[in-house]
Structure 1
Amino acid sequence: MNKNRHTDHAKKRILVVRFSALGDVAMTLPVVYSLARQYPDVEIDFVTTPFFARLFLNPPANLTLRPVDLKKDYHGVKGTLRLLRYLSSLRPDYVADLHNVFRSWIIDRWFQLKGLKVVMVDKMRGERKAAISQKAPQPSFFSRYADVFAKLGFPVDVTFTTLFSDGLPTTTIEPEHPAVGIAPFARYANKTYPLHLVKRVAEMLTANGIHVYLFGGRGKEAEELQRLADSTPGCTSLAGRFPIEEELPLMGKMDVMVSMDSANQHMASLCATPVVSIWGSTTPECGFMPYRQDPDNALCLRLDCQPCSIAGKPECPLATLACMNNLLPETVANKILSLIKQ
């Protein structure tokens, strides 16, 4: 394995584009950090929104985050033209489109007309029906992102391990151990483990001397998780209390992190924390299995109706949510306890 590849690409610049969403941007990070470290003479500009740019802690020296506020500074036709001029001012030699949506297509075409080599990630949209009806496994997005750079002429070995290779920083709250983090929410309800079942899991863990920490967003999520914590001795809610720059090391300090098919499983994986993932309308075969996590820790009933979606839906098509409701809290708690005891 050639860890540092200097000669063929010296003084070249790659423009990488991925605007959203949080979990998808997090999945680009192991590939992009690995790329930067294996090509130290190549400058990499990563274009994303300001909030998602904050994920990129301790980046390699040749990786520069280029936050762009699409709603404020680059909105509409005039804003798009300003964005194109700004990206042109970076003088890239290659464009890696890791998003493959209408806005990134405009960027792609702009640079293609300038004669640059542009490669976009293959989202395999045509294969999604087969993935659902025939349960055909989809390639991981980590491999799909790596394929983009290989097609640009930059093959990359994805060797990333953690955001905190020099050790975890001090945090406002230092968790008591053994510590388990639980992030029960996801973007869609049919990817969310019901809170009354989360409470039972928490109760089983605390009964075994485990300290449980709840992760979630501000507003409604924080309110619901605070109520759960208040009614469960040994349980603490961290939801909405910390910026993402501190939430990441807090996840890194968990002995185990429990997450849905959501951004949280990917954020915890960036910290090399073991993840127990819970799958509902999606399955690990949809391509979103978290980085370097043991498939045995992915809890999925694999009912006949799973998956019903590649990325999630607002409601269960059968109105039963059996994929979540039938996953016993004892199953989840026993899996967590088995990892704690290792």
Structure 2
Amino acid sequence: MKILVIRISSLGDVILSTYVVRLLRNAFPESQIDFLVANQFSQVFKYNPRLNNVIAYDKTKPFYFHLFETLSINNPIHYDVIIDLQNNLRSRIYSLGKGTNIYRFNKRRFFKFKLVYLKKRTNDYLQIPILYRDTIPNLNRFDDNLGLELWTEKDLSRGEYLPHKKKLQKINLGKIAIAPGSKHFTKSLPARKFVDLINLFRDRFNSQIILLGGNEDFDVCDRIARATPGVENLAGKTDLIRTAELIDEMDMVISNDSAMVHIASARKVPVVQIFGSTVPEFGFTPFRTPNAIVENNEVDCRPCTHFGKSRCPKGHFKCMEDITAEMILSAIERIIEQSI
């Protein structure tokens, strides 16, 4: 049997889909399993042995290019099963005529509408990897209770995914990674808040702190590093795999609602996730790794968006401005209590 999984973007979503890849391999050990992903995120699967082929999708080309490619009589690609975890115009065009059975991810538009516009919050919600899993009938029977995966060369050479063997040990906060970046302003804790947090760490612990992120996060990390001598800014200086290797060396990761949360989850490193305009109910929370969430539940305008915004619609940005270093430290202490 030939199976194609589609999750073109973005980085965090692609990492979240690795759970499904493993379950598919558990369920169909002899099948061909391919994955369609945007070329800039294909490194997620660079060392992953569970896939037969990684198909790089060029998002710089217009959708009609991919439509022509799909409809071409010279295109022989056909799959018995296509699992479309993207479920947008691009993924639908690509899968057109290529699959005998196609399963598409339910994007839960009404659920998100109730959250954003009616503020109908709930403690009863499913995480995205589980929702991805449930896109495929009966795949839950092959759930192994393990988490996400981001294979490194060391994992591949050992022939096993090493983070799955990690046990929760007492956390000493010797090394901490902070990821202060995010694609959207309203999902980003202000840089000065991270400066306050680092100074608080210096008062209470003797931690080595590094700043992680992509090229787009360099400026915010630079501002933080300049205000906190001794903190190393590695934003934009490491590729995805090297970032995962660095996270392996950390005792904890502190991050906004961004892909770094899911990288840390994949490497099974304890993570503190900070929410601003978004909320945990959207499902993008740390998956099967020790974690704690920081959010301001005293404002009634959250969530104002599913994706994040370039500015606060109300102008006060209290969802982030009212979060303190002490609140983040309290979340860290909750994780430490789990490890004792």
Query: Could you state the TM-score of these two structures normalised by the residue count of structure 2?
Result: 0.84
Aligned match for 1:283, one of 279, 292, 308? 279
The number of equivalent residue pairs is 316
2:40 is equivalent to residue 51 of structure 1: yes
**Could you say if the C-alpha distance between residues 301 and 70 of structure 1 is closer, same or farther in structure 2, counting changes exceeding 3 Å?**
closer
SS in 2 for 1:149: coil
CA distance in 1, matches of 2:74, 2:47: 23
CA distance, structure 2, for counterparts of residue 201 and residue 33 of structure 1 = 37
| 1:61 shift after superposition | 4.2
Shift in Å at residue 298 of structure 1? 0.7
Q: Is the 8 A contact 1:278 1:298 kept in 2?
A: yes
Aligned to 2:146: 160
Distance 1:192 1:264, change over 3 A: same
Partner of 2:187 in structure 1?
Answer: 191
Matched position secondary structure for 1:16: strand
In structure 2, give the amino acid aligned to 1:215. L
Q: Which amino acid aligns with 2:246?
A: L
State the AA in 1 paired with 2:131. Answer: R
Letter in 1 for 2:215: R
The range that moved more, 90-99 or 224-233, is: 224-233
Determine helix, strand or coil for the equivalent of 1:99: coil
Q: What is the CA–CA distance in structure 2 between the aligned matches of 1:257 and 1:23, rounded to whole Å?
A: 15
2:294 equivalent to 1:299: yes
CA RMSD of aligned residues (A): 2.6
Among the aligned pairs, what percent are the same residue?
A: 27
Q: Does 2:56 align with 1:67?
A: yes
| Offset, 1:83 | 4.7
Q: Is the 8 A contact 1:36 1:63 kept in 2?
A: no
User: Could you tell me how far apart the structure 2 residues matched to 1:156 and 1:178 are?
Assistant: 37
Deviation at 1:52, TM superposition (A): 0.8
Letter paired with 2:114: A
Higher deviation after alignment, 157-166 or 185-194: 157-166
Give distance in 1, aligned partners of 2:70 and 2:224.
44
Identify unmatched segments of 5+ residues in structure 1. Answer: 1-11, 169-175
Q: Which amino acid aligns with 1:299?
A: V
2:133 & 2:73 partners in 1: Cα distance? Answer: 26
Out of 308, 315, 324, the residue aligned to residue 304 of structure 2 is: 308
Post-superposition shift, 1:23?
1.1
What is the rounded CA distance, in whole Å, between the counterparts of 2:39 and 2:73 in structure 1? 15
**Worse-superposed segment, 300-309 or 251-260:** 300-309
Aligned residue number for residue 6 of structure 1: none
Q: Distance in 1 between matches of 2:39 and 2:98?
A: 23
Partner amino acid, structure 1, of 2:104: M
CA distance in 2, matches of 1:154, 1:200: 43
- In the TM superposition, 1:94-105 aligns within 5 A as 94-105=81-92
TM-score, scaled relative to structure 1: 0.84
Q: Are residue 178 (structure 1) and residue 165 (structure 2) matched?
A: no
Residue 4 (structure 1) aligns with: none
* Secondary structure at the counterpart of residue 45 of structure 1: strand
Offset of residue 87 of structure 1 = 11
Say which is worse superposed, 125-134 or 61-70, in terms of deviation.
61-70
The aligned counterpart of 1:13 is: 2
> What's the counterpart of residue 69 of structure 2?
82
Aligned partner of 1:124: which letter? Answer: R
Once the 2 structures are TM-superposed, how far is the Cα of residue 289 of structure 1 from its aligned partner? Answer: 1.2
Q: 1:120 is matched by which residue type in structure 2?
A: R
Pairing partner for 1:146 from 121, 133, 136: 133
Contact 2:181 2:256 (8 Å CA) reproduced: yes
2:256 aligned with 1:267, yes or no? no
1:120 aligns with: 104
Q: 1:9: which partner in 2?
A: none
